[in-house]
């Protein structure tokens, strides 16, 4: 059954200021659109039968065993170990780009909220780290439903700005994440690629699974500017370049491709999933990517 959010673009959802509402819209829309509930698939696993004792719930009696043996047996399930996921949200200045009102940061916060909603709904533990040049906030993973409120409050409170150097921040972060888990990085990954890859390798060394949602704006991928333009840096004040973008476009796209290829190559080497996202793509695709990753891990 289709859900209303299937037809909502990120730009539409941007109008909803309450992140929790957004997250619920996205996730429930996404789940109801699937043929099989993810809940059935991995949250409860059959373990063994045991003899019925008074006080057990009748609905847990396995009637097929009763039919065969004429005795009451109860089906016992083993509760699955909680997934520990940590969302790493990039709050650097470059995430603040977006010409049509929806910035990459806004897209990332909504995506983070949706992911958190989905994960907590599946009894996974979700934590969150916001950072730019350094770690701004670290919220350890919890699986309580009330924890979602904490995460969303933090997302709504934070504002991007400043420079970024992912490599350094990630190195600093490794010791804080004691238990291995899934790291969901929401970032444009701008910066020095070798340094970033080194930091990611550090995470991998600590046995973390890594899923990177690389957030792009369409302008950054296509460089569609036609008239003379002064590009002013979102991260470093005072850095600006006046140029005819038409003359630079080809070289820019070439450089972009090189950057993306280098990053992708490094991620593959470290078995890291790199999923590029453009801010005009629906969030559901991000959730699908997460689910796919979750299944692989499970």
Partner 1 sequence: MSLPFGFINGALLAGAFALAIPIIIHLFHKSRFQIVKWGAMHLLEAVIRTNQRRIKIEQIILLIIRAAIPLILALCMARPVWKGVRKLMGETRTSTIILLDNSYSMAASRAGTSNISLAKDEAERILNEVPRGSDAQVVLMGEGGAPLLDEPTYDLARLTQSLKPLEATYGTATVPAGLDFAANVFGQMHESTRNLIVMTDFQRVSFEATEDAEVGQMLDRLHKLTIPPEVTFFDVGTEVKDNVAIESLDYSRLMVGIGQKIQIRANLRNFGDAPYQDLRVYFKADGKERSMAQIRLGPHEKGQVLFTHAFDTAGSHVVEIVADADPLKADNSYLASIPVRDKIPVLLVNGDPSAEPLKGETDFAEIALQPYSSTGRVALADLISTKVIRTENLDAKDINASAVVMLANVRQLDAGQLKALEDFVRNGGGLLIFPGNRVDASWANASLFKDGKGLLPLGYGALAGDLKEGAPSVGIVSQRFDHPALDLFNDPRNGTVSDAAIKMWYRMKEPASASANAPTIIARLTSGDPFLVEKQFGEGRVIQCAIPCDADWSNLPMRPFYLPMMQRLSIYLASTVFPPRNLEVSKPLVAFLPAGDAGKKASLSLPDGTAREVPVVKKGERGVIEYPKTQQPGLYTLTSPSGTATHFVVTPRDANRICKS
CA-to-CA distance for 108 and 113, rounded, in angstroms? Answer: 9
Cβ distance to partner 1 smaller for residue 77 or 259: 259
Cβ distance to partner 1 smaller for residue 116 or 200: 200
Cβ distance to partner 1 smaller for residue 28 or 219: 219
Cβ distance to partner 1 smaller for residue 209 or 235: 235
Task: Mention every residue, 6+ apart, whose C-beta is less than 8 A from residue 56.
Answer: 74
Closest CB 251 distance from partner 1, rounded Å: 5
Q: What end-to-end distance do the CA atoms of the chain give, in Å?
A: 27
- Report the candidate in 20, 28, 39 with the shortest Cα–Cα distance to residue 2: 28
CA-to-CA distance for 93 and 97, rounded, in angstroms? Answer: 8
Q: Which residues bind partner 1 (CB under 8 A)?
A: 93-97, 99, 104, 188, 190-191, 217, 220, 225, 227-236, 239, 241-244, 247-248, 251-252, 255-256, 259
Closest CB 28 distance from partner 1, rounded Å: 32
Closest CB 293 distance from partner 1, rounded Å: 26
CA 95 from centre of chain: 15
Contact by Cβ (8 Å): 290, 184: yes
Cβ distance to partner 1 smaller for residue 248 or 289: 248
Residue 168, SS3? helix
Cβ distance to partner 1 smaller for residue 160 or 282: 160
Closest CB 162 distance from partner 1, rounded Å: 12
Cβ distance to partner 1 smaller for residue 158 or 229: 229
For tokens 């990459």, name the residue. 104
Closest CB 235 distance from partner 1, rounded Å: 7
Residue 255, SS3? helix
Closest CB 177 distance from partner 1, rounded Å: 27
For tokens 């460089």, name the residue. 223
Closest CB 248 distance from partner 1, rounded Å: 6
Q: Which residues of 48-77 are buried (b: 16+ CB within 10 A; e: fewer)?
A: eeeebeeeeeeeeebeeeeeeeeebbbeee
């Amino acid at each position: 059954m289709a859900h209303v959010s299937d037809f909502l673009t990120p730009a539409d959802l941007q109008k909803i200021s309450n992140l929790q509402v957004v997250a619920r819209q996205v996730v429930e829309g996404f789940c109801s659109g699937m043929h099989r509930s993810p809940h059935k698939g991995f949250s409860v696993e059959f373990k063994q039968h045991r003899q019925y004792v008074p006080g057990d719930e009748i609905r847990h009696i396995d009637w097929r065993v009763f039919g065969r043996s004429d005795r009451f047996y109860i089906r016992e399930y083993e509760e699955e170990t909680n997934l520990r996921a940590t969302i790493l949200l990039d709050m650097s200045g470059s995430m603040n780009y977006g010409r049509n009102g929806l910035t990459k940061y806004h897209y990332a916060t909504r995506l983070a909220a949706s992911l958190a909603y989905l994960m907590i709904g599946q009894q996974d533990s979700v934590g969150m780290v916001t950072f730019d040049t350094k770690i701004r906030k670290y919220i350890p993973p919890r699986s309580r439903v009330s924890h979602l409120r904490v995460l969303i409050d933090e997302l709504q409170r934070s504002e991007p700005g400043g420079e970024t150097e992912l490599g350094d921040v990630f190195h600093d972060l490794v010791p804080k994440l004691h238990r291995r888990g899934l790291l969901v990085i929401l970032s444009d990954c701008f910066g020095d690629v070798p340094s970033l890859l080194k930091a990611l390798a550090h995470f991998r060394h600590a046995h973390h699974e890594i899923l990177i949602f690389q957030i792009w704006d369409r302008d950054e991928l296509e460089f569609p500017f036609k008239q003379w333009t002064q590009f002013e840096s979102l991260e470093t004040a005072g850095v600006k370049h006046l140029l005819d973008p038409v003359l630079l476009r080809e070289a820019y796209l070439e450089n972009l491709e090189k950057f993306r290829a280098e990053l992708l190559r490094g991620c593959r080497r470290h078995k890291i999933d790199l999923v590029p996202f453009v801010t005009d793509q629906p969030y559901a695709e991000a959730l699908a990517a997460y689910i796919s990753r979750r299944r692989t891990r499970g």
